[in-house]
Structure 1
């Protein structure tokens, strides 16, 4: 491992205690008092010196880079103990009167310093044992870690991952994964003691799938918060290594690597974008689309002649999707330009045959993981959302929502929901990716509406409703299929689903929506007001989304008999009285809605303002 800036080399670190040990031995030999104690101490220090020199030889051997953290920590403690030994034997140069002055404490001090040297010998012996690949894992506990037994476990495991034989490296990585699982103290210790680089190296080298899986699981268990994920990617080439393995590895490895990508993207928005810049979305969409035949858009059947403009538009649409298809399918061949850790070139086709022969269960696991990864990568990220929608991802997600069940279907809906949420905040993405006339947008909308009409599970309905709400501005006034199903969900027995429906409908009738008046009329026509009023009565939570929807309806269609019969004015006046002063926008909305209702309803008075 590279020496940190301002840090001594490991050989320089080891030279100090060797010099100190030689000094102790010389002083002990020159002692004029307590000679038996000095000789015993010199013997122990000589034994320590031999072990220190063995450590020097180990660090200069032309093998894998030595794991230095325990060496530096132990050598620092050894140097302190040798300093105390020097201080003690110096006193023994004196004789006569001075000898009697020091004799009272000398025997106890020799015993104490002798114990410290014994501890140093035990520490160095343990250190040599964890670096001996033929000796197997060390089960002993060095004195330096007596108050923190986990430190010895972490040191020996990291040393094995970095320096051991393949089997030892795998076992050690699995030990790190197991010990760090839900253990914040050990997670912190592994990171502080330099465990990330050896794990990334084991992942990169890819000697066996077992090795890569063990390394990935250990990294996954460490990537539990924003800061730890930041530390992982702070190491050079961490993200490219992960993506390279994702492209090249067998499917069983790809599953755990995709899960690692998901977790890291979820925990840290900087990492989320870093993965996007390295085009991680391409292989994810590729794997998600395996075994799926995506139909190319077909020209519409018309009774009359097709105009030249229509033909041009159809041709452009088909070319667009053809290019996207090539973009996905060519990912693996493009990735072959990269080389793996040993300098050889290994393209993405290296495991294609194995992937084709994988069991349906393994393929399903990979698709579930990829759908979740796309969901987490898209969440609040314009860069990744653009990259995802530039491929055939939307067509693929729509296909899976239609034909799959369970976790895969839910993850695909969550991915669509996040893509739509980003598009809601970005006009260009909304116009390009979710243009109502595009085949991909139509396919997605069809499936979202199918979920609304046919499903009852909140896990499916909530993301579908949120996605439709986010796309409210893309739908023309003549699109009549949407409002009815959303209104129906106002009556769903699950309060969260009903509230999501109110939020989504609120986006359709928001004054910022160009078609808000037509959408408001459609809600009235689908008997939305009685359902909304029932929801307001039954929902004892904040009710703000429901009240906002009612306000927008009052503003746009205040002359509606449905609002008058539902006594909407009384409801809004009551709500306005309980609106906190800290919500000026909401108070203003109530005032505007109440004003509109008082203009149309018989017996109402315009002074009923909040």
Structure 2
């Protein structure tokens, strides 16, 4: 079977043609049911003529769409085999064989009906393959798809995209596939199984003179790419290099759709994420964001602005000359007419289109860096951090949120990768300073809980990079321990743990700073909470007790009493037992006189 599927389509067409000739020859030798046999011969002859036409078309077409013809031929071969067996029974035989082998008119009716269906299938097939006379998209149904009309429509649409002569027809067919893919997952699966991905990628690649064509193709691919299996089918058709090239070369409205496609593919498939990293999709995405951010004529260059930092750090993002990248530098040309015409085109576009493009590019970056050290490093290498910081500073809404999520993912990668942390996120580097400045602003000024949480997490991920004197990041986190939003307060506690835990070389200094900023009272209030809030509050109090146990703030807040009453939580989280016991013993060293009569941990009242 595998061998048959791999054979050239001309070879596939030859076998049923030979069967037709055998049937016609046996029909001539028939002795009984001559009229019925002659009808079988006539239908078979019509099929053979159609097969010869199909062979000529396949030989003259460099891009024949094969799935429907293979499916139709499979059914046709079954029908021809059945017809051959039937007419052989009508040859001259001995009396005994004729008695044993019973043939009826009903058998011929069934075979003739099957042959008529095969003729209908071939008539439909030739109508979608023959573009010598333009008839538009064929929406008639072949008998083989009478129970599943969607399949026939998809075959017609895919064939039009792959073999059609008029671009308008291809655009219409791609839009129809996009609509069908949007409806349900079954349609998505059929489109992929019936070979729809490759023609859509071809239209995306070769439709560079038509925005409508590229938008239709990218929309259809976007609607398909909502699970790992279908994203992988796009990757396996060598789709990633095509997508990256189009992203770099196309008009803004096309880039919007393509960047959304990049985001969705990276979100659902780690292999696609890796392939995009290999093709360096980060470069055109950052270039687009940089162009709209730093080439703005109204941008003010203040003494302490991020743009000024960019100037000081020799921000010079000039991608190499290639068709898959854009250039911001005036000395670099592009495949779309040079940077001057490119800049003029973008300046003339509507503001809402520019905003949508940047939002989608930021979303793509977010999905690309999520869990990826490689892509995180590529953004830092392109000075993308500065661009993201500027967008967080001046934008709002979804674009600001997406940029913040990119920063969060990069800092998360840096926390687990010392090389990335040291190379790109030293707090004395201009990029890191710009990022931290905006993270602190988000924590202190914004009211969106989700954005505050992202900024707080990012600061926590960077905890190991801050020197002891950099206490300005601790104060805002301590303030958020009193936030009315319990999730924000909890994340503040989680991030402060990263400053106060032993894995942080400066945990002693940071622990004292947390106490000095008044972190103990709100922490004690959080300890009265439940679930995750209570756990992380307890962990932070333990670290403060171990690293600054002689603090009066801990004594005044009765931290020792609270820790001794935490046995119920310890029972639920046994891994905390050693930490809590160490903290209790450490506090007792400083408060022995006050708590010497305090009962042991297992007998105190529970909090």
Q: State TM-score, norm by structure 1.
A: 0.89
Q: 1:243-392 alignment to 2 at 5 Å?
A: 243-293=244-294, 321-322=313-314, 324-327=315-318, 335=325, 349=339, 351-392=342-383
Cα distance in structure 2, aligned partners of 1:441 and 1:129: 63
Q: 1:592 maps to what in 2?
A: 582
Q: Secondary structure at the match of 1:493?
A: coil
Residues 72-113 of structure 1 deviation map (CA, whole Å, 9 limit, x = unaligned): 111111011000000000000136745863785421110111
Cα distance in structure 1, aligned partners of 2:163 and 2:342: 28
Cα distance in structure 1, aligned partners of 2:404 and 2:317: 25
Cα distance in structure 2, aligned partners of 1:325 and 1:286: 11
Cα distance in structure 2, aligned partners of 1:520 and 1:336: 47
**How many residues are paired up?**
581
Q: Secondary structure at the match of 2:502?
A: coil
Residue pair 2:490, 2:532 contacting (<8 A) in 1 also: no
Cα distance in structure 2, aligned partners of 1:83 and 1:542: 73
Change (3 A) 1:266 1:441: same
Residues 461-514 of structure 1 deviation map (CA, whole Å, 9 limit, x = unaligned): 011111101001111111121111101111222222111111111101111112
Q: 1:558 maps to what in 2?
A: 549
Cα distance in structure 2, aligned partners of 1:336 and 1:517: 48
Q: Which moved more, 1:80-89 or 1:100-109?
A: 100-109
Q: 1:37 maps to what in 2?
A: 36
Residue pair 1:398, 1:447 contacting (<8 A) in 2 also: yes
Tell me by how many angstroms 1:560 deviates: 2.5
Residue pair 1:594, 1:608 contacting (<8 A) in 2 also: no
Residues 517-551 of structure 1 deviation map (CA, whole Å, 9 limit, x = unaligned): 12111221222122112223234556322221121
Cα distance in structure 2, aligned partners of 1:252 and 1:4: 44
Tell me by how many angstroms 1:263 deviates: 1.2
Q: 1:102-501 alignment to 2 at 5 Å?
A: 105-133=103-131, 134-164=134-164, 165-181=166-182, 183-206=184-207, 207-236=209-238, 238-293=239-294, 321-322=313-314, 324-327=315-318, 335=325, 349=339, 351-501=342-492
Change (3 A) 1:36 1:290: same
Cα distance in structure 1, aligned partners of 2:382 and 2:371: 19
Change (3 A) 1:245 1:347: farther
Cα distance in structure 2, aligned partners of 1:255 and 1:445: 29
Change (3 A) 1:129 1:10: same
Tell me by how many angstroms 1:346 deviates: 5.9
Q: 2:517 maps to what in 1?
A: 526
Tell me by how many angstroms 1:282 deviates: 1.2
Tell me by how many angstroms 1:235 deviates: 2.0
Change (3 A) 1:6 1:80: closer
Tell me by how many angstroms 1:326 deviates: 3.8
Change (3 A) 1:200 1:569: same
Cα distance in structure 1, aligned partners of 2:326 and 2:376: 25
Residue pair 1:333, 1:347 contacting (<8 A) in 2 also: no
Residue pair 1:202, 1:212 contacting (<8 A) in 2 also: yes
Q: State TM-score, norm by structure 2.
A: 0.89
Cα distance in structure 2, aligned partners of 1:604 and 1:33: 115
Q: Secondary structure at the match of 1:579?
A: helix
Cα distance in structure 2, aligned partners of 1:214 and 1:466: 39
Residue pair 2:244, 2:324 contacting (<8 A) in 1 also: no
Residues 428-474 of structure 1 deviation map (CA, whole Å, 9 limit, x = unaligned): 21122111111111111111111111111112201111110100111
Cα distance in structure 2, aligned partners of 1:466 and 1:4: 55
Q: 2:605 maps to what in 1?
A: none
Cα distance in structure 2, aligned partners of 1:122 and 1:580: 74
Q: 1:62-77 alignment to 2 at 5 Å?
A: 63-77=61-75
Cα distance in structure 2, aligned partners of 1:129 and 1:459: 56
Residues 534-573 of structure 1 deviation map (CA, whole Å, 9 limit, x = unaligned): 2232345563222211211121122223323333333333
Cα distance in structure 2, aligned partners of 1:225 and 1:103: 55
Residue pair 2:245, 2:323 contacting (<8 A) in 1 also: no
Q: 1:23 maps to what in 2?
A: 22
Residue pair 1:33, 1:95 contacting (<8 A) in 2 also: no
Q: Secondary structure at the match of 2:313?
A: helix
Q: Secondary structure at the match of 1:119?
A: helix
Cα distance in structure 2, aligned partners of 1:605 and 1:553: 23
Residue pair 1:436, 1:475 contacting (<8 A) in 2 also: yes
Cα distance in structure 2, aligned partners of 1:379 and 1:250: 27
Change (3 A) 1:352 1:129: farther
Cα distance in structure 1, aligned partners of 2:565 and 2:141: 71
Residue pair 1:249, 1:351 contacting (<8 A) in 2 also: no
Residue pair 1:595, 1:606 contacting (<8 A) in 2 also: no
Structure 1 residues not aligned, in runs of 5+: 301-316, 338-343
Tell me by how many angstroms 1:420 deviates: 0.8
